[in-house]
Amino acid sequence: MTSPVVLDSGVEPETGPAKGEKKLEGRSPGQLMWQRFKRDRNGVICAWVVIAYFVIALAAPLLTRLSGTDPYTLYGQDPTYADKPVLDDFGLPLGYFGGLSGSHWFGVEPQYGRDVFAMLVYGMRTSLFMALGVTVLVMGTGVVIGLIGGYFGGRTDYWIGRVTDFFLSFPQQLFFIAFMPVVTAFFVDPREETPTYFRALAMLIVLWVLGWMGMSRLVRSTVLSLREREFVEAAKVSGASPWRIVRKEILPNVVTPILVQFTYQLPSTILTIAFLSFAGVGFVEPTPDWGRLFAAGSSYAQQDPAFIFFPGVALVIFVLAFNLLGDSVRDAFDPKSGR
């Protein structure tokens, strides 16, 4: 009895991965972005710098406890510290470079003797978290309005565009200065001191109302190009609701410009808050704030230029790091980037 003849088809049978070999898996766009970002040394360094600033802001009470100071005590006028003078007879800091010492790490403020290190870390705390709240509200409002106008188009887009143009017509910096006192005076008796929390709330509302337009325009222009794409048309044909199309098809494709814009919006908001305090319509004495430090430093510039050195360097490093981080995030999302 002869055995049956088996014809060789020339096709190798499918086999699993050999022992010791890793199975190849596809990567999502987010994973590819993360891989590109990790290869960007400048971006990683800037990210750690930004994280360090937020950690310092959160740990401000702990840091001032370690230094043995606080941002409110007048070390140059409080009789309790008369045995450790920090100011001379002219109200200028004793010692080198604004009164640097083991007790006052960044020196003291002229005339009052407040600790600069304590004012700086608490000022960072005020400015960073105030700016973070404003930026989240601005970005969220701009994204929602831009999605609605860009997707539905027609009369909806027309009227949203006119409202956007109306808010864009306000000169923001001048309007901030003029409108902030009006907001506070409307709710607080002019004869009474305005609470700090109310100043913060008024600034948040004004910056929010006048800050969402740029994000809205950016998202709208992106959605206008996306809504004509084949995958959106296919979702419409399949009977998907507008909410599902926006949430599942369009929104994931506008994440990139949203994240990049966020990295530019936050430092810009910090500078705006600092400007309001510098102009005298933001945070005032004795609330520690970056802008108030610069306002005080401008009056001490001739007598004690060292007072503004550490706040100035800290602000420049933060804004520079965040802007460079934004560039790195943009390059990481760009698949054509050579990084």
Tell me the average pLDDT across 204-208: 87
Q: Degrees (nearest 5) of the Cα angle 163, 167, 171?
A: 160
Other CB atoms closer than 10 Å to residue 65's CB: what's the count? 11
154 has a pLDDT exceeding 90: no
- Give the chain's mean pLDDT: 82
- For the cut 70, the answer to whether the pLDDT of residue 161 exceeds it is yes
Window from 5-19, 36-50, 68-82 with minimum mean pLDDT? 5-19
**The pLDDT of residue 11 is above 60:** no
Q: Is the model's pLDDT at 299 over the cut of 90?
A: no
* Confidence (pLDDT) at 139: 92
Query: How far apart, in whole angstroms, are the C-alpha atoms of residue 194 and residue 202?
Result: 11
Contacts of 35 (CB under 8 A, 6+ apart): 27
Cβ–Cβ under 8 Å, residues 328 and 43: yes
Distance CA 117, CA 97 (A): 13
Over 70: is that where the pLDDT of 240 sits?
yes
pTM of the model as a whole: 0.81
- Given a cut of 70, whether residue 48 has pLDDT beyond it is yes
76-80, 92-96, 332-336: which range is least confident on average?
A: 332-336
- Could you tell me how far CA 138 lies from the centroid of its own chain? 11
pLDDT of 50: 92
**Paired tokens of 108:** 């003291």
pLDDT category of residue 55 using cuts at 50, 70 and 90: very high
Is the pLDDT assigned to residue 1 strictly greater than 50? no
Which residue has better confidence, 175 or 26? 175
Whether pLDDT at 174 is above 50: yes
Confidence tier at 231 by pLDDT (50, 70, 90): confident
Count CB neighbours of 39 within 10 A: 11
Judge contact between 23 and 17, C-beta under 8 A: yes
- The CA-atom distances, in angstroms, between 194 and each of 189, 239, 280, 287 are 8, 55, 13, 12
- The residue type found at 299 is S
Q: Would the pLDDT of 319 be above 60?
A: yes
Q: Which long-range contacts (CB under 8 A, 24 or more apart) does 92-100 make?
A: 92/303, 92/304, 93/304, 93/306, 97/306, 97/309, 98/304, 98/306, 98/307, 98/309
Using the predicted structure, report yes or no on whether residue 10 has a pLDDT greater than 50. Answer: no
Say what angle helices 116-152 and 255-278 make with each other, to 10 degrees: 140
Residue 9: the pLDDT is: 46
pLDDT on residue 336: 61
Mean of pLDDT values over 92-104:
85
**Tens-place pLDDT, residues 249-265:** 888 888 888 888 888 88
One-letter amino acid at 7 equals L
